[in-house]
Amino acid sequence: MTLLTFSSVSVAFGADRLFSDVSFNVAQGERWGIVGRNGTGKTTLLRLVMGTLEPTGGTVTRRTGLRTTLLDQLRDFGDARTVWEAAAGGYRDLMELERSMARESERLGEMGNRVTEADLARFDRAQERFQHQGGYTYQARVDAVLQGLGFDAEEARERPLARLSGGERGRVGLAAQIAAPADLVLLDEPTNHLDLDTIEWLKRYLAESGRTVMVISHDRAFLDDLADHILHLAQGSATPYRGSYSSFVLQRDEALLTMERKAAEQRREIARQEEFIRRNIAGQKTAQAQARRKRLARLPRLSPPAEEDDPMAVRFELSARGGDQVLVAEDLHVAAGDQLLVRGFSTLARRGDVIAVVGPNGAGKTTLLATLLGEHTPAAGTVRIGVGITPAWYRQDHAHLPAGRTLYDCVADARPTWSRGQIQGHLGRFNFSGDEVRRSTDSLSGGERARVALALITLQGSNLLALDEPTNHLDVESIEALEDALESYPGTVLLVSHDRALLRELTTRVWAFRDGRLQDFPGPFVDWEQKVAQEEGEREAAALQAERESRDAGKARARKAADLKRREGAPARAAKREVVDAEREVHAWEAKVAEVEAALTHPGLWEATNGEGAREAARLGAALKEARDVLEAAMDRWTRAMEALEKLEAPDV
């Protein structure tokens, strides 16, 4: 079923055309990733989908009654007072109906015998509407989403919304979006400010929910795992592709190569025809030459594929090589207020290391960087920066960006001997040209602030880079440019990031906040992912084994007790049949659980590369949860049947 159709859609603001001739269809259950350079119109496209913006040309057709949801950038939660009320914002009408039903139920109870058939019929209709709109399931849905995004669902019912940080409000807004009763979920950079585990949960939730999704994201790994269609905005239009992000990259490159080849072939053929015309226009083959000239005049010319503007040109250069021992920590303890974040951490970072610093939000990643760089006092232990090491810190909040200064002045302050041309050339490498260099830092968007911050970092010549979420607000092309720059950088990098693709490509070591400690893993991020997935699989398998043994012991005790009290009789025979049927169902689902458990504990599951083992383990885990839930229901039926049989067979007292 088609939910949404764009037909030759164009958008212009005055004389400036943003994009044109955009056509695609979105069917129910599809998951679309929207990619493109910053400024190509991705967010504008979502506004067209929502209907808050009308196209300049073409048509946007939505299925009648289509319900959409998009997070307001201002994060307006209406009159919600608590975290839970904000997350349940999509159910405001349903909650009002629930309150109305409660008031009506109380009124009917007070009326007693004076209740009329009309009163009861009206209440029945309200109940039917409440059930049809998900009134008996929406609370569980909101709880599950809040839990998945890192909130305690019970605590959220009392936790004041006004006391949340900006990042927490963002997660509440995301919760409200994906919990809402929408047919089409629209997400604009949902992974910004989420940690790795939460991104993994979000990906699984969206994929397993079967909902239709359109998501703008710069997270290549997230799109690769989630999207089954890609819409690429470039050169003033948009092209749809079927498949994952990796598939899109291959298809795009092949299409561009084909266009280039066809244009080159036509140019060669035109040159050949023009040479024939030149040689024969005045000779014996004049008629042929004239005919060919007419055909050439009518021939539509193929243009080579238009080239996109180059992404920012990042290059990190060293002013000095520095020593091999870049950073040494001994028995380091890090605290924030009364909370101890790191205890007893000892490590040595060497020249050339690219270290991933990962962990849940709030674990202390940014505070750890501040401590290592000397801007936060350790609670205990020591940190020493090596001889000749000059660090530079890219802060997630861009606090290192001068406030109220023009871009030109920012660079001039860092390079006072540079000429005007050198300053403009440097800013031009980060896609700031012309009058843009006179803009104030206070007027920049998130992506622009990120590019200016990187432009200033590259001027420091540091041999130790501490990068705290550098990909936030950057488009995919800029992230790839940053990735290339870091890959060729000869210094040491401490990299806090939620971008799995970046971490997989670059890192040589991992510092992970896990199980209450900061762990130093001496291998790349890909190997660390495999190790974590294997450990979690082993823990799950051990828990399943213990549960199975407990279940078997309980069944044995119940069966023995039933055998001791068995007596004949018609009601007892019926009860026995129910026990047999229930036990047969239990055996069937026990077999299913055992089958999935065997797959989870199979050694081959962890031999897959590129995260395939982890993804398969996640799928098996979901299947196992479903089978266990059904098995638990079957066990409840069996237990009730056994209790009924025991009651019938108990001797009269």
Q: Which of 54, 63, 64, 59 is nearest to 27 (CA)?
A: 63
How many angstroms from the chain centroid is the CA of residue 622? 19
> CA-based angle 143:149:150, to the nearest 5?
90
Mean pLDDT across 196-215:
91
Last residue of a domain, one of 523, 543, 576: 523
- How many CB atoms are located within 10 Å of the residue 344 CB? 12
Round to whole Å and give the CA distance between 330 and 344.
8
Per-residue pLDDT of 265-279, as tens digits, reads: 888 888 888 888 888
Alpha-carbon torsion angle 627, 633, 634, 639, nearest 10: 140
Cβ atoms < 10 Å from Cβ of 472: 21
74-78, 99-103, 180-184: least confidently modelled range: 74-78
Q: Closest by alpha carbon to 385, among 333, 322, 458?
A: 322
Most confident of 108-112, 383-387, 647-651: 383-387
Residue carrying the six token digits 């498949």: 243
With respect to residue 176, please indicate whether it lies within any of the assigned structural domains: no
Cα 507-513-518 angle, rounded to 5 deg: 90
With a CB cutoff of 8 Å and minimum separation 6, the contacts of 90 are 69, 176, 177, 179, 180, 181, 182
Q: Give pLDDT tens digits for 237-266.
A: 999 999 999 999 999 888 888 888 888 888
CB 391 within 8 A of CB 466: yes
Please give the tally of structural domains in the chain: 5
Q: Are 532 and 391 in contact (CB under 8 A)?
A: no
Give the SS3 label for residue 340: strand
Based on the fold, state whether residues 16 and 54 are members of the same structural domain: yes
Predicted confidence at residue 653, as pLDDT, reads 47
Does one domain contain both 366 and 505? yes
pTM: 0.73
Q: Are residues 459 and 345 in the same domain?
A: yes
Largest CA distance in the chain: 127
The percentage of residues in the chain with a pLDDT greater than 70, rounded to a whole number, is 92
Task: Give the mean model confidence (pLDDT) for residues 152-174.
Answer: 87
Task: Tell me, yes or no, whether 376 lies in a domain.
Answer: yes
Q: Are residues 84 and 103 in the same domain?
A: yes
Question: What is the distance between the alpha carbons of residues 479 and 223, in angstroms, rounded to a whole number?
Answer: 14
8 A C-beta contact, residue 123 and residue 105:
yes
Q: What percent of the chain has pLDDT over 90?
A: 48
pLDDT value of position 607: 60
What is the structure's pLDDT at 224?
93
Lowest mean pLDDT among 82-91, 189-198, 524-533, 553-562: 553-562
- Please determine, for residue 181, whether its predicted confidence score (pLDDT) is greater than 60: yes
Reduced 3-state DSSP string for 138-191:
HHHHHHHHHHHCCCCHHHHCCCEHHHCCHHHHHHHHHHHHHHCCCCEEEEECCC
Cα gap 200→219, rounded to integer Å: 12
Place of tokens 């309200």: 126
Residues 236 and 255 in one domain: no
Both tokens of residue 377? 């006092």
- Of 505, 523, 541, the residue that ends a domain is 523
* 317 domain-assigned: no
pLDDT digits (tens, 9 = 90+) for 133-149: 888 888 988 999 999 99
pLDDT, tens digit (0-9, with 9 covering 90-100), for 463-520 = 999 999 999 889 898 999 999 999 999 999 999 999 999 999 999 999 999 887 999 9
CA dist list (Å): 472 to 386, 450, 469, 476, 479: 30, 8, 6, 10, 9
* Rounded Cα distance, 616 and 45, in Å: 34
> What are the tens digits of pLDDT across the range 290-326?
888 888 888 887 766 666 666 788 999 998 999 999 9
- Res. 606 pLDDT band, cuts 50 70 90: low
SS3 472: coil
Question: For residue range 545-567, what is the model confidence (pLDDT) as tens digits?
Answer: 888 888 877 777 777 766 655 54
Q: Is the pLDDT of residue 73 over 70?
A: no
pLDDT tens readout for residues 182-205: 899 999 999 888 889 899 999 999
Termini Cα distance of the chain: 65
Same domain membership, residue 432 and residue 374: yes
For the beta carbon of residue 553, count every other beta carbon within 10 angstroms.
Answer: 10
Q: What is the pLDDT of residues 316-358, one digit of tens each?
A: 999 899 999 999 999 999 999 889 999 999 999 999 999 999 9
- Cα radius of gyration rounded to whole Å, the chain: 32
Decide if 495 contacts 507 (C-beta within 8 A).
yes
Looking at per-residue confidence, does 402 or 558 come out higher? 402
Residues 417 and 508 in one domain: yes
Q: Clarify whether residues 383 and 470 are in a common domain.
A: yes
Would 305 be classed as within a structural domain? no
Q: What is the DSSP letter of 400?
A: T
Task: pLDDT band for 75, please (50, 70, 90 cuts).
Answer: low
Q: What string of DSSP letters covers 504-525?
A: HHH-SEEEEEETTEEEEE-S-H
- From 417, 499, 498, 411, select the one nearest 451 (Cα to Cα): 411
509 and 535 belong to one structural domain: no
pLDDT at 51: 92
Q: Do 390 and 515 have their domain in common?
A: yes
> Please, what is the average pLDDT of the chain?
87
Both structure tokens of 321: 């090589």
The DSSP letter of residue 82 is: B
- pLDDT of 79 above 60: yes
Does residue 170 have a pLDDT over 90?
A: no
Ramachandran assignment for 236, one of left (phi > 0), alpha (psi -120 to 50 degrees), beta (any other) = left
Alpha helices in 397-524 (DSSP H): 407-414, 420-428, 446-457, 476-487, 500-506
The secondary structure of the chain in percent helix, strand, coil, rounded to multiples of 5, reads 50, 20, 30
Rounded CA-CA distance 300/400 in Å is 54
If asked whether residues 361 and 486 sit together in one domain, one would say yes
Indicate the residue among 502, 523, 544 that finishes a domain. 523
Same domain for 196 and 292, yes or no, is no
CA–CA separation, 502 and 65 (whole Å): 40
Q: What is the CATH number for 376?
A: 3.40.50.300
Q: How crowded is residue 436: how many other Cβ atoms within 10 Å of its Cβ? A: 16
**Cα(605)–Cα(611) distance, integer angstroms:** 11
In a domain, residue 311? The reply is: no
Residue 108 pLDDT? 82
Task: Kindly state whether residue 557 falls inside one of the protein's structural domains.
Answer: yes
Q: Write out the residue range of the structural domain in which residue 619 sits.
A: 529-649
pLDDT of residue 610: 59
Q: Map tokens 């269609």 to a residue.
A: 229
Tell me whether residue 177 is in a domain. Answer: no
Which range (54-68, 241-255, 340-354, 631-645) has the least confidence? 631-645
Q: Is the residue at 171 inside a domain?
A: no
